Amino acid sequence: MSVPSTPIAEKALAFEAAFPLRSRPAGGFDWRYYAGGSGDVVLLLTGGVGIGIGWLDLGLALEGRYRVIAVDYPPACSFADLADGVTELLAAENVERAHVVGQSMGGMLAEVLSRRSPTMVRSLVLTGTGLYGEEDRPRLADKRTQLEKNPWEAVREQMRQALRATWKGSDDLEFWLERVDAATDGEAGRARTIAGYDAFLDLIGRLPAMLEQPGWKGPTLLIRSDDDQLITERQVGRLLQMHPDAEVRHYATGGHSLLVSRPEDYVHDVMTFLG
C-alpha cells in the first residue's frame, strides 16, 4: 500500500480527526489514547517517547478497515503495570481481542501483554524491538541515574541530538522533534522518561522466568532492519526464542524507526500481514 506524500502537519490533522484523543483512568494511571474507526481492533503500542500520534502513517492506512487504538504511555514503572493498564483500557472500550502492533519499547510491552492477557491478543507485530538482558543493565541503570541528577534541559538536548542521528535524512524530523519536546516537557516529562527506564530494568529482572515459559502462540510478525543501532541481534534472538514460528522480515537499511525511514515498506508489510 502506498503512503501518500502529504505534508506531515496535514497527516497529523487527518490522524487526529480520524482518531480523536480520549482520556480514561485505567490500572491506576490516567491514560491518553487516540481511538476511532470500526472493524477488528488494532492496538498500536509506540516506542519509548510514548506518543500514540507516532503511528500517523499506519493509522491512516488502517482507517476505514479497522478500529484503531493508539496509546500514550503514563509514568508506569513496569511493563506489567503498563500491560494491565492497557488490558483495563481495552475492556472499558468493550474490546475483547485485538491485533497488537508494537515498535521498540512498544514491542516489549506487546510481549508482556501477550503473556498477561493472552486471550485478548489476535496477532502480534513486533518491529524494531527485542528484549534487554543483564548485559544491558549497567548501561540502562547509568542512563536512569543521569536522567535523575542532570539538568533536565541538558538531558532533553541530548535526546534531540540522538533523535537527529536516529532519524537522519527524514524530511519530517523537525515535526517529530517538536512532538518529542512536548512529551518530555517539564518535571512530568522527566518523571515519565525515568519511569520508562525503571520499566526496562524491571523487565530485565523478569527475563529469566519469561525465557523458561513459552511465548504467546498465534500469528506473529517480526520486522527488523539490519542497520538498527539500538536493538542488538542478541535482544532480537530472545524474542525469536519465544516465537520460533514467527514470520520475519529483514530490511537491509532503515535504522531503528522504520515507520519514519521507510513508511511505505512498513505499512505494506503490516497491512499484508493483517490481511
Phi, psi of 254 (to 5 degrees): 140, -15
- Asked if residues 140 and 163 have their Cβ atoms less than 8 Å apart, the reply is no
Q: What is the pLDDT of residue 258?
A: 93
Domains parsed from the chain with CATH numbers: 8-132+206-274 (3.40.50.1820)
Phi, psi of 45 (to 5 degrees): -110, 115
In 21-170, the DSSP E strands lie at 21-26, 29-37, 41-45, 67-71, 98-103, 121-127
pLDDT along the chain (275 residues), means of 10: 67 97 97 98 96 96 98 98 98 98 99 98 99 99 97 94 80 88 95 98 98 96 96 98 97 92 95 97
Taking the model in full, what pTM does it have?
0.95
